[in-house]
Amino acid sequence: MPYQAEYIWIDGTTPSPLVRSKTRIVADGKQPGIWGFDGSSTNQATGDNSDCVLRPVYVCKDPLRGPTDKLVMCEVLLTDMTPHPTNTRAACAATAKKYASFEPWFGIEQEYTFIQNNRPLGWPENGYPAPQGPYYCGVGGDKMPGREIVEAHTAACIRAGIAIEGTNAEVMMGQWEFQIGVLAPPAIGDQLWVARWLLFRIAEDFGVYATLEPKPMLGDWNGAGAHTNFSTKQMRAPGGWTAIIAGCEAIGTRVHEHISSYGHGIESRLTGAHETARWDKFSYGTSDRGASIRIPWGTARDKRGWLEDRRPNANMDPYVVSRVIVETVCSAASSTRRPGAKKATRAAKATKTARATKSPRTAKVAKTAKVAARATKARTTKKAAPAKRGSRAR
Ligand code: ADP
Ligand code: MN
Ligand code: MN
Ligand code: MN
C-alpha cells in the first residue's frame, strides 16, 4: 500500500515566513525523495522561473494520519540544488558543522496565542477578561480556553517522535507554551518547525488558529516569546561556569546583531515592561527574569549547565537564532583572547552609570551586572530568590 508523505517547508513571506505543506503519495517501501513546488505562489520565485526544489531533511511519523504515513520537513533549494535565498537551514547546518566539537545543545520554549474571531481564544467579544494572574499554569472553569487543543497537540508530537518536553498555560488568557529539546542545531530547528506545523494543523480542527505574533494584544498583556536555552559541552562539564559567563559576555558584544535575528517586531515585545529586558539593553544574571539572559538557579548552584536567552520572539526562526548564538559563543571561545579580560568592565560601567543617573532601570542593570561580576570571580553566588509570580514571562 502506498503511504502519504506531508512535505513541509518554510516560504518567502516577509517579514515573517509562513509554513507550507502539500501531500505526496509514495510507493510502499520507498523513502520520500526530492520534490518541488511553485515558488511564484509562496514569494520564493517569479512566474517565469517558478520551480523550487524540496529536499527532505527530517522525516517522522504523521500522527494525524495512518500508521505508515509521514511528515517530511524540507529545505528549499534552487533548481541547481544550491540553497534558496530563503533557506536559513543551510547556513545553520554549516555553522553547526564548523563548531561541532563544542557539542551545542538547544531547548526552545515556544509560546503562542490561540485566536478566534480576531480575539485571543476565550476573550469576551468586547472588553477584556479578568487581568493577568490566574492563567499561568492555571486550572478550572472557563479560565483556560484552548486546553483541548494543547492536549491534542502534545499527544501528536509524542506520537510523531518529536522531542517535546512539556507544556504550560501562559500569563495571558489564551496563551500557551510547549518546549522542544534538547537538540543540536539544525535538528532543533527541524523539530520546532514540524511542531509548529502540527499546532497550526490541529488548531484548524477546532476552528481556531495559533499565532506566533510577539505582542498579540497591546497594552498591559504579556507578549509571546521563544526563550532559547543553550549550552556547550564545556558549559555542561564540571566548572562549566566560566564558559557560561564567557558565553553571556560574548553575546553582550553583539546585542544588535542578535536582536535583529530574534524575530520581527521584537521592539514591541521587549519594552522593558512586563519584566522583559529592553531590546536595546543587555544584561544577564542568575534567576533574573527581567534580564536579557537568565542563568537558571540550578546552573548557578552546580556551577555548570546552561544559559537562557529570553529575548527571541515567538515568531523567530530557530535556524537563525541557533546559528547566531553558536557563531557568537563558539567563535569567541575559539579565539585565543583570555576570557576574563572584559568582564569587570561591563559591571563597572553599569554600576557607574547607575550611580550617575540613579534611574531604577539602570540600577537594575547594574545589579544584574554586579551579580554577574561576582559570578565571574567564581565566588559562591547568593541563594537564588524564588521567581516572583504575576506578569513575569516564564
Ligand atoms: P522556564 O519556563 O523556567 O524558563 P522551561 O521548563 O519552560 O523553563 O524550559 C527549560 C528549557 O531548558 C527546556 O527547553 C530544556 O530543553 C532546556 N534545557 C535544559 N537543559 C539544557 C541544557 N543542558 N542545554 C540547553 N538547554 C537545556
Ligand atoms: Mn513561558
Ligand atoms: Mn523560560
Ligand atoms: Mn517555560
Pocket lining: 387 vs ligand 1, CB cutoff 6 Å: no
Is 297:287 a contact under the CB 8 Å cutoff? yes
Quote the CA–CA distance of 123 and 229 in Å, as a whole number. 31
Amino acid at 275: E
Quote the pLDDT of residue 33.
98
Percent of the chain with pLDDT over 90: 79
Question: CA 310 from chain center: how many Å?
Answer: 9
- Measuring CA to CA, which residue among 103, 120, 107 is closest to residue 213? 120
**Residues, CB-to-ion distance under 5 Å, ligand 3:** 109, 227
Quote the pLDDT of residue 273.
84
Quote the pLDDT of residue 393.
56
pLDDT score of 169 more than 70: yes
User: What does the mean pLDDT of the chain come to?
Assistant: 88
Q: Which residues pair with 119 in a beta bridge?
A: 116
Is 300:286 a contact under the CB 8 Å cutoff? yes
Quote the pLDDT of residue 289.
86
CA 137 – ligand 4 centroid, Å = 10
Domain locations along the chain: 3-86, 93-338
| Burial annotation 192-230 (CB, 10 A radius, 16+ → b, else e) | bbbbbbbbbbbbeeeebebbbbbbbbeeebbbbbbbbbb
Which residue is listed with cell 533574573? Answer: 288
pLDDT score of 299 more than 50: yes
Q: Which residues pair with 4 in a beta bridge?
A: 25
Residue 342's φ and ψ, nearest 5 degrees, are -90, -15
CATH numeric code, 3-86 = 3.10.20.70
Q: Could you report the per-residue pLDDT of 379-391, keeping only the tens digit for each?
A: 333 333 333 334 5
Quote the pLDDT of residue 158.
98
What mean pLDDT is predicted for residues 34-45?
96
Is 155:120 a contact under the CB 8 Å cutoff? no
Reading phi first (left if > 0) and then psi (alpha if -120 to 50, else beta), residue 181 is in left
Q: Which residues contact 152 (CB under 8 A, 6 or more apart)?
A: 202, 205
> What is the maximum span of the chain, computed from C-alpha positions, in angstroms?
74
Q: What ranges make up the beta strands (E) of 226-327?
A: 228-231, 284-286, 293-295, 307-309
CA 158 – ligand 3 centroid, Å = 21
Q: Could you report the per-residue pLDDT of 199-238, keeping only the tens digit for each?
A: 999 999 999 999 999 999 988 899 999 999 999 999 999 9
Pocket lining: 392 vs ligand 1, CB cutoff 6 Å: no
Is 325:319 a contact under the CB 8 Å cutoff? no
Quote the pLDDT of residue 394.
63
Quote the CA–CA distance of 85 and 311 in Å, as a whole number. 25
pTM, two decimal places? 0.88
- Measuring CA to CA, which residue among 343, 329, 328 is closest to residue 375? 343
Quote the pLDDT of residue 344.
44
| Closest atom, ligand 1, to C-alpha of 229 | 26
**Which region among 7-11, 215-219, 248-252, 365-369 has the lowest average model confidence (pLDDT)?**
365-369
Pocket lining: 317 vs ligand 1, CB cutoff 6 Å: no
Pocket lining: 206 vs ligand 1, CB cutoff 6 Å: no
Quote the CA–CA distance of 224 and 178 in Å, as a whole number. 12
Question: Ligand 1: which of 136, 177, 182, 394 to mutate, judged by most atoms within 8 Å of the beta carbon?
Answer: 182
Pocket lining: 306 vs ligand 1, CB cutoff 6 Å: yes
123 burial via Cβ count (<10 Å: 0-12, 13-18, 19+): buried
Q: Could you report the per-residue pLDDT of 57-98, keeping only the tens digit for each?
A: 999 999 999 999 999 999 999 999 999 999 999 999 999 999
Ligand 1 atom 3 nearest Cα: 394
Pocket lining: 230 vs ligand 1, CB cutoff 6 Å: yes
What mean pLDDT is predicted for residues 243-268?
97
What mean pLDDT is predicted for residues 358-371?
38
Quote the CA–CA distance of 259 and 313 in Å, as a whole number. 9
24 burial via Cβ count (<10 Å: 0-12, 13-18, 19+): middle
**Which region among 27-31, 82-86, 253-257, 370-374 has the lowest average model confidence (pLDDT)?**
370-374
Q: Could you report the per-residue pLDDT of 325-360, keeping only the tens digit for each?
A: 999 999 999 995 554 444 444 443 433 333 333 333
> What's domain 93-338's architecture?
2-Layer Sandwich (3.30)
Higher pLDDT pick, 191 / 142: 191
The helix (run of H) or strand (run of E) holding residue 107 is strand 105-116
Is 10:17 a contact under the CB 8 Å cutoff? yes
Residue 145's φ and ψ, nearest 5 degrees, are -65, 135
Same fold, 3-86 and 93-338: no
CA 311 – ligand 3 centroid, Å = 10
Pull the grid cell for residue 316. 523567530
